[in-house]
Amino acid sequence: MSDQRYRKVPSARLSRLASFGQLAGGIAGGVLAEGARKLASGERPRLSDLLLTPANATRVTEQLSKLRGAAMKLGQMISMDAGDVLPPELTDILARLRDAAHYMPPAQLNKVLIAEWGPDWRRRFKHFEARPIAAASIGQVHRATLPDGTLLAIKVQYPGVAESIDADVDNVASLLRISNLLPSTLDIASLLAEAKRQLHEEADYVREAEQMLRYRQLLSGEEAFLIPAPYPEYSGKRILAMDFVPGQSIETLQSESQAVRDRTMGGLLDLVLRELFEFGFMQTDPNFANYRWQPESGRIVLLDFGAARAVPEKTVASYRRLMLAGLAQDHDALRDALIEIGFVSPVTLQRHRPALDGMIDILMAHLGRPGLFDFADRSFVDRVRGHAETIIADKAAWHVPPADTLFVQRKVSGTALLAIRMQARLPLLEMVAAKVGAGD
């Protein structure tokens, strides 16, 4: 592993703001260069095409991975796309944010640990591995051994990340505004406020330990999943110690047999449906790094419960009506449910009903096929995109769904993306029908 992965986290507000300025300047330079190239070749460039270039996506990826925190987290959220909305090449570049975080240099790490545990913190451990075994948007994870031989995984939060959340979210929103990627008429204030609230929750490791215990209780006695246990005596608001549970990256499943991939993805999809319709409580971050897989036991290790939250009954009821309409192949009921849950606005329906109806027909025909559902079959995507482009081109029709809907859908879509990667084949209709009717 290269030492290039070590990079000090900019914790001061001015240094983080300067990074955003550098990012905006780099994007602007890329736009000018690409625009000049297109003009020279006789093309008439569009601003959206100039902004969404692989070079600019690489700039965004690199800068957000340096900043970590809310900035990187928002980039990761955008990356949870199967190439259905964003061009595949941009999706691939943004997907690097899922494992692109740099590490804190040892001196900065030591300073954080002294602040949390005191200057003699090393005496608490038989061994503490200075090189992280994982790094993410808010913190990095170290393996440590207690004097009695117990192995722990210790998540250490980056300095300044929690304090920078509000400013980072506002700066990302400003970048989107300045770059004209979002229309000025689109009101995202409530979404930004909710994003800040959730990110503050994710930065509270005491709260995350509580959610970890909650999931251990919800899934106690189940063979399919393993969840670490927190160690409160070594934990705090900025440090979370837990059992070290071995496992491989969930993406190593791609080389396994169809039966193994189907069984594992069936377990994860079933968990999402249970979270929504049985628990009323969901871990809403589907980042692939939050899942590990044990090939010997076939069990899935669930990690990172900072984004676990209650799902409002209204949102659960709306998803139930949406899925029941889909199961019944009731076009009108499905369209009404899409409006009720907030995926579609009345304005969009009024301005683009034919395009919306065309998308619904394609999706219902694809999802409603009997037998095993093949997640790798993306034959419908281009036809859906053809209708969607009509709506996307009309910025006056753009609409932001309610935050609760977006957070649930992030988990649903992220799990589906993983199923696509694994080329899973599952009895989707039967699985949904079994859970949707559970509360009736």
What does residue 43 show for φ and ψ, rounded to 5 degrees?
-90, 150
61: confidence class by pLDDT, cuts 50, 70, 90: low
More confident residue, 274 or 28: 274
Yes or no: say if 363 and 325 are a contact pair by the CB < 8 Å rule.
Answer: no
Give 104's DSSP letter.
P
Q: Say what the alpha-carbon torsion angle 421, 424, 429, 431 is, to the nearest 10 degrees.
A: -100
Q: What is the pTM of this model?
A: 0.81
**Active-site residue (options: 81, 168, 262, 285):** 285
> Which of 4-13, 27-36, 323-332, 405-414 shows the lowest mean pLDDT across its residues?
27-36
In this prediction, residue 189 carries a pLDDT of 80
In this prediction, residue 396 carries a pLDDT of 80
More confident residue, 426 or 221: 426
In this prediction, residue 281 carries a pLDDT of 96
48: confidence class by pLDDT, cuts 50, 70, 90: very low
Would you kindly state where each structural domain of the chain is located, as residue ranges? 3-99, 249-440
Yes or no: say if 276 and 282 are a contact pair by the CB < 8 Å rule.
Answer: yes
More confident residue, 285 or 1: 285
Yes or no: say if 435 and 277 are a contact pair by the CB < 8 Å rule.
Answer: yes
195: confidence class by pLDDT, cuts 50, 70, 90: confident
Digit-coded pLDDT (tens) for 151-191? 999 999 988 888 888 887 777 777 666 655 566 677 778 87
More confident residue, 257 or 162: 257
Does the active-site annotation cover 99? Answer: no
Examine the pLDDT at 22 and tell me if it is beyond 70.
no
Yes or no: say if 144 and 128 are a contact pair by the CB < 8 Å rule.
Answer: yes
Examine the pLDDT at 120 and tell me if it is beyond 50.
yes
More confident residue, 78 or 145: 145
CA distance 10 to 67: 6
> Which of 32-36, 310-314, 337-341 shows the lowest mean pLDDT across its residues?
32-36
- Segment 42-51 mean pLDDT: 45
Examine the pLDDT at 256 and tell me if it is beyond 50.
yes
Pairing of strands 225-226, 299-302: parallel
- Segment 236-252 mean pLDDT: 94
CA distance 17 to 157: 20
In residues, how long is the chain?
440
More confident residue, 242 or 392: 242
10: confidence class by pLDDT, cuts 50, 70, 90: very low
More confident residue, 435 or 12: 435
In this prediction, residue 209 carries a pLDDT of 97
Residue identified by tokens 């990012």 is 23
Residue identified by tokens 């991975």 is 65
More confident residue, 209 or 138: 209
**One-letter amino acid of 370:** P
Q: Please state, rounded to an integer, the average pLDDT across all residues of the chain.
A: 81
Q: Where are the alpha helices (DSSP H) in 154-257?
A: 161-178, 189-202, 205-218
**One-letter amino acid of 5:** R
33: confidence class by pLDDT, cuts 50, 70, 90: very low
In this prediction, residue 46 carries a pLDDT of 45
Yes or no: say if 186 and 135 are a contact pair by the CB < 8 Å rule.
Answer: no
51: confidence class by pLDDT, cuts 50, 70, 90: very low
CA distance 250 to 414: 13
More confident residue, 368 or 47: 368
